[in-house]
Every structure is written in C-alpha cells, then in structure tokens.
Structure 1
Amino acid sequence: MEESLYNLAFERSLLSSIIFDPAQFDDFDAVLTPEDFYLSAHQEIYRAMMSLAHRDLPIDEEFIRKELTAKGKFDERVMVEILTANPIANTKAYVQEIKDKAIKRHLLTLTTEIKRVTLEEELSGTDVVDLVEKKLYEITQSSQATDFKDAPAIADETLAYIEEMKARGDSVLVGVDTGYAELNKMTTGYGKG
C-alpha cells in the first residue's frame, strides 16, 4: 500500500503520547477507532487502551503488556518503538492526519469492492449503487467524531453533580465560590474551565 495512505511515525507518536499522558485518551476515544491505525500491532495496542480505559484501569506500559499478553498479541519490538517515539504536544493535528489517511484507505478498499461487485457479481445496477451508497455512508459516519456517552457514565456524572449541589444547601452558588459574596451573586460562581 502506498505510504501516502499511512504514517507509522504519526501512529507511534500518538500512542506514545497516550502512554505518557493517559488523561488525553478520552479525547481520542471519541474520534479514533482501532481500524484507523494502519499497522495491526498499533490497532491491538489502541484496542487494549480502549479496554483499559473502559474498565477504569491505568493506560500504561505494564497494563497494556498484560492485556495483550493475555490475548497472545503482545509484540515487544512494536512496544519499544512506541515507547522510544517522542510524545507530541499538538495531538489534534496527528489525530486528524491518522483519521484522514484511514478514510483514504477505506475509500481505496471501496473502489476495489465496487470493481469486484460490478464485474463478478450478478447484481443489477440499482443493487450495486445501493451497496456503494451503504458502504460510503459507513465510511462517512466513521469519519465523524462522536460525543455520545453511555447512560451509566451520564448517570454517574449527574448524581455526582446533584450530590455536590445538595452539599452546598440553599446557596446561590452553582459553580465554584469566587471568595467574594457580591461576585458570587452576579456570576453564581465560576463554571468549569
């Protein structure tokens, strides 16, 4: 496959950044899927990171190693390459580049599928168009970021917020106390961020 359709250095750097700063994984989880990585070992490492994050376990070298070893998919050489890659600061650009290259690979696969279905299958033109539309729709949907959260996560966040408000009593504050009563009345406290 052409190198314009993947960048292993970007993938290594992004995975390295996650290992060295796991707090940013949630930002990637909403955008990237394991299939967005070109190298199958990178896909497995990202899949292990997803599994660890969803079980509230640390995303670090040891837990990733344990997760992959249990499945028989741990590759020491690839892990060393990732750990020796420089973590990056501007991860958003790297994520976008990885996602963009993945979309191009999916489109290339789709063109091959179109050729195969058109020439080898005994389908009508309408059926071929329907199939192409369905596959193209799947590609466009996977390219869009999702901000959906599962119900238990939303319920936990809401309950924590309710408990916090209950603990404050009949206070004017909705946010963080500014330390100034008049400012609290005007702003209802500082919000997140």
Structure 2
Amino acid sequence: MAEQLSFHSSGSDAYGGKLRLPPQNIEAEEAILGGIMLDPEAIGRVSDSLIPEAFYISAHKDIYQAALRLYSQGKPTDLLSVTSWLTDHEILVRIGGRNKLATLVDRTVSAVNIDAMAGLVMEKYLRRQLIKAGNEIVHLGYETETELPQVLDQAEQKVFQLSNQSFGSNTEHNSTITIAAYKELDSGSPIYSTGLDELDNLMVGFEGGTLTIVAGRPSMGKSQISLQLALKMILLHDLPVAIFSLEMTKKQLEYRLWSLISVTNAYKHLGLTPLKSDRIRRHRAKFQPLADWEFTLIAKIVDIASELPLYMNDSRGITVSQIASECRQIKAKEGKLGLVVVDYLQMMAEDSGGNRSYELGDVARGLYKMAGELDVPVLALSQISRGVEGRQNKRPMMSDLSQSGILEMVADNIILAYRDEYYNPDTTEQGILELIMAKARHGETGTATVFFDKSYGIIQNLR
C-alpha cells in the first residue's frame, strides 16, 4: 500500500503546518470489497451511494469498478468473476494479483454491515475533498491579481459542488417525483392490510417507511396484537416478518404462536384442536403433562410454524443499529421484508442512566429512520403511564404515553389498546378489545373494536 500514500506523517506543509495522512478507512474499504465478492446481493445495496473515487487505495478503486461493470451487465461479482474481469482487462497484476483478491474474501465474515461501511468510506472521501477544496480556496486568496468578487464566486462554487455531492442527491425536481408517484399506482410499494377491517378503515394498512406504535398498560394484549398482525402479514401477503423481543424469549413467543395457529381460520381445514397459550407452561411445570393426542397436535402445528417466513430475536441489549443490521440481512436473504416488530420501546432506553426522554426519543427516531431506509413498516410496542389507573375513565389518551411528546412527534400511527373487562370484570364488553387510533398521519383517528380471546391470543373482526 506504500505506493498509494502520497502524504507523509512527518514534515511540514507550505504554511508551516505538520502534514498528516488524509482521512481514510482502509479496513472499511477491504470489508466492502470482500463483502461484494462474498455475497451476490451486497453490491446492489451500495452501488447507488458509493462511487469508485471514494476508495483511498487505487487498487481498491479498480476492484470496485470491476464489480460495478459486472453488476451493470447482470453478471455475478464473486471472486472468480472479478478475477476473470481484471485479467481480461490487464489490471490483475496492478491490483496485487489473485492473492490480493483472495485475502479480501478471507478477511470478510459477511456483508451484513456493508451499508455502514460504505457510509464510512464516503465520509472519509468527502473529508478529503473538503481538504482539497480548502487548499484551493487558500490559493485563490493569494491571487491578488484576480478581482475579489470573482475569487469569492470561485470559492463558493467549490464548496457548493462538495455540498451538492454530499447532500443533494435526494433532492429531485417535481417532474421526476410525479412520474415515480404515478408509476407506484400500478406497482411500486403497496399498502398492506392488517386483516382487521375496522383498523384498516382508520389507518388503511401498513405502509413501508412508517412507524406505528401500539401502547397500553400491562395485560392489555400488546404482545398478542403484534403477534397477530405479524401472522396476518405472512398469511395475507406472503411477506417475511422480523420480531425483536426485549421482554419475552424466542421460545415463549413460539409457544404463543403455536396457540394462535391452532385457532387461526387459515388452518381450519387441517382440523386442529385449539391449544391454550398457557398449555405448554403447565406441562413444563409438571402441573398437567401433555397427553399423547396433544403431542400429535403440537407436531402438526410445529410443521406449520417451521414453514413461516418469521424471524425472532430476543437479545435484551439490542440497539436500533443492530436491529437495522439484522433486518438488512433478512431482507438480503428473503428479497423483501413485510413488517418489523419491536417489543418494546422502553426496554431499549432504560439502561444508559441519562435523560430518559432523550433516550426514548433517540430510540423512536432511530426506528423511524430505519423504517425509511429499509422501506418497511415498523411496529413498536410501548408502555403508557400508570396515571390512567387513577382516573374514573381508564381508556388511555395519547398524553398517557411515556414521554409522549417525543413519540407523538415521531410516530406515523399511535394505537392505544384498552380492554374494559380488565378493570370491570362485570362489564358487558367481555372479550372486546378497543384499538384506539389516537394518531393517524395518513388516515383517520377513531376506535376499532375487535374480539380478543386471551386464552389463545386470537384477535378477530366482530363482523
């Protein structure tokens, strides 16, 4: 790499300052190239945002350009293909030969974080460009023979060009936007129904890039709501779903899923016997061992569950960036992702010891940003203040949300869950779950009333 380093760590520049290496991240460059040759989907995730000139090492630039050429021709970018292309164009020796390429692949574990690595490389490139522009502006300042307005204009152009390269790519003329919006009517990104008619009437459905918050007091059924909506996304739209649970383990979620499957209409033709959600726990606690027929039933349910495109993660300390990384990996594997569930917000913001409102806000904003970047709907569960317990009418309001100001601002939809039978055992509203749509950025506020059977975790339309 020595031939690439045109700067030295010692000595002085023309103005007496100590020379330093330009900003660069060689390890990130190597990880990107290794990922591209390791994962056939990887280059599609960075080709629009990462330019060849961003690579600090010229050999890395040549390898990346070779991969881009192959990708543009619809050809694979694996080690063999890249080696062949570089050989055919007499570049292989210049980049360090086959050993250089093999080393890049050997050092790379996966391409999961390739988006983040590309961001790092582009950042270093833009910093180098800023240094270059700064030096050119300094020289302009010394050109006293040039009129000052002309010098200022030239200096402004240099900074503008850099700023435009960094931030202007997402700003489009409305003629471009309107064509894309029109095309989306027939294809593009559809909005997916939730399977609950009254809820769909209010929020229309799940749309990519949106954040929906389901909030409620404990035992209101938030986790069951999210599991029901996850299963509906799979059954109605044949889309993969990822659940990140900071409260329950993967196996606990799985047992609830088995119960839900046993009473779901989509599997009614299989003649499954309803399996209560606490049945497995009672068996494991030796209170009521499973009978032979129940083992047979569960075996059938397991066969069904194992075929679902459902991913679960129960890491208690997971961060938003880690969730995003996992989702990118799932999306790369499946080709698409229908819904991301996070259970629940407060658990992600409780351990740093700082201002809780800011921490929760950072989590919510991070999930909202992730939804946009991945173009998937995100469903996040949230606790609400215990202040509702002191009111005569215990139906939650948006102001009952923990640190409600932050969540109100960030969320596209806010659904508040309420079951009157929890507070009033003699109510006439037995088995009724109210989904109070407190905020609907692209829909209507109101209340969707559904049937909820806690024994099985099933939520159904009343009509």
Residue 145 of structure 1 and its aligned partner are, at CA, apart by 8.0
User: 8 Å contact 1:18–1:25 — kept in the other structure?
Assistant: yes
Counterpart of 1:60 (choices 75, 78, 88) is 78
User: 8 Å contact 1:22–1:59 — kept in the other structure?
Assistant: yes
1:128-139 matches, cutoff 5 A: 128-139=151-162
Sequence identity percentage: 23
Counterpart of 1:81 (choices 91, 98, 103) is 103
Residue 121 of structure 1 and its aligned partner are, at CA, apart by 7.8
Structure with more of its chain in helix, by fraction: 1
The DSSP-based 3-state class of the residue aligned with 1:59 is coil
Counterpart for residue 96 of structure 1: 119
The DSSP-based 3-state class of the residue aligned with 2:50 is coil
1:108-119 matches, cutoff 5 A: 108-119=131-142
Residues of 2 paired with 1:130 and 1:51: CA distance? Answer: 37
Q: TM-score, normalised by structure 1?
A: 0.71
1:21 and 2:55 are equivalent in the alignment = no
Counterpart for residue 63 of structure 2: 45
Considering only CA atoms, is the larger Rg found in Structure 1 or Structure 2? 2
Counterpart for residue 49 of structure 2: 31
Residue 89 of structure 1 and its aligned partner are, at CA, apart by 2.5
The DSSP-based 3-state class of the residue aligned with 1:6 is coil
Highest relative contact order (Cα 8 Å, sep 6+), 1 or 2? Answer: 1
Structure with more of its chain in strand, by fraction: 2
Residue 120 of structure 1 and its aligned partner are, at CA, apart by 4.8
User: 8 Å contact 2:28–2:117 — kept in the other structure?
Assistant: yes
Gapped runs of 5+ residues in structure 1?
Answer: 149-153, 163-173, 177-185
Counterpart for residue 179 of structure 1: none
The count of residues paired between Structure 1 and Structure 2 equals 175
Residues of 2 paired with 1:145 and 1:94: CA distance? Answer: 21
Q: Deviations over 1:59-109 (max 9, x none)?
A: 112221222223322221532331222244222321221111111100111
Counterpart of 2:26 (choices 8, 27, 37) is 8
Residues of 2 paired with 1:11 and 1:107: CA distance? Answer: 20
Compute the RMSD of aligned alpha carbons.
Answer: 3.7
Gapped runs of 5+ residues in structure 2?
Answer: 1-6, 8-19, 173-178, 193-203, 206-235, 240-335, 338-463
